[in-house]
């Protein structure tokens, strides 16, 4: 009987450690570092939990219409930028075009979306670039520039089309 209880508790511990790793992985997508833990629990996590895998990158069509527009507008900004763009600059760019990024922290929300996109390359805190410029231009031509509606980049007329990113936004 004692051995059964020990086995159940070990199984429960392993399950909780898997859940903890999943939460930590989700927090890392949002740029958050895990809370400091004791050496014993860290060793236990390393011993019992499988190696964490990076979240799978997805195509533009895998996003919802709302989140797809955020990624498309980000791609639009990136293909026209001379260098890396910070997430905060992308949020500003997107909002200038009348599209709303949902979530309490728009920078974190957009960063999580971009991290999932196979068409975007992250460069840590330095910013974002497109993974393949020609592919990004093709995606934009198909999904954004031909769209007729309130979210089209050029729907607001010439005053909204050439939004210039500031120098500090690209640093």
Residues 83-93: pLDDT tens digits? Answer: 999 999 999 99
pLDDT of 82 above 50: yes
For the chain, the average pLDDT equals 77
* Residue 12 pLDDT: 84
The answer to whether the beta carbons of residues 67 and 36 sit under 8 Å apart is no
* Residue 1 pLDDT: 62
How confident is residue 69, by pLDDT bands cut at 50, 70 and 90?
A: very high
Under DSSP, the state recorded for 125 is: B
Taken as a whole, the chain contains a residue count of 171
pLDDT of 9 above 90: no
Q: Minimal CA–CA distance to 113: which of 51, 31, 24, 53?
A: 31
Pull the structure tokens for residue 11: 């199984």
pLDDT > 90: percent of the chain: 44
* Residue 30 pLDDT: 67
* Residue 103 pLDDT: 87
How confident is residue 153, by pLDDT bands cut at 50, 70 and 90?
A: very low
Task: Give the residue carrying structure tokens 């799978």.
Answer: 56
* Residue 68 pLDDT: 93
pTM of the entire predicted model = 0.58
């Amino acid at each position: 009987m004692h051995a059964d209880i020990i086995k159940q508790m070990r199984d429960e511990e392993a399950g909780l450690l898997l859940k903890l790793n999943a939460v930590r992985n989700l927090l890392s997508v949002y740029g958050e570092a895990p809370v400091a833990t004791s050496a014993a629990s860290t060793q236990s996590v390393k011993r019992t939990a499988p190696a964490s895998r990076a979240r799978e990158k997805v195509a533009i069509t895998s996003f919802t219409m709302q989140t797809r527009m955020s990624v498309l507008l980000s791609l639009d900004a990136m293909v026209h930028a001379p260098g890396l763009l910070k997430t905060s600059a992308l949020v500003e760019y997107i909002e200038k075009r009348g599209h709303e990024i949902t979530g309490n922290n728009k920078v974190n929300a957009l960063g999580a979306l971009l991290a999932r996109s196979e068409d975007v390359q992250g460069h840590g805190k330095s910013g974002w670039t497109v993974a393949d410029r020609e592919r990004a231009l093709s995606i934009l031509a198909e999904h954004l520039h031909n769209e007729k509606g309130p979210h089209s980049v050029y729907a607001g007329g010439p005053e909204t089309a050439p939004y210039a990113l500031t120098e500090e936004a690209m640093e």
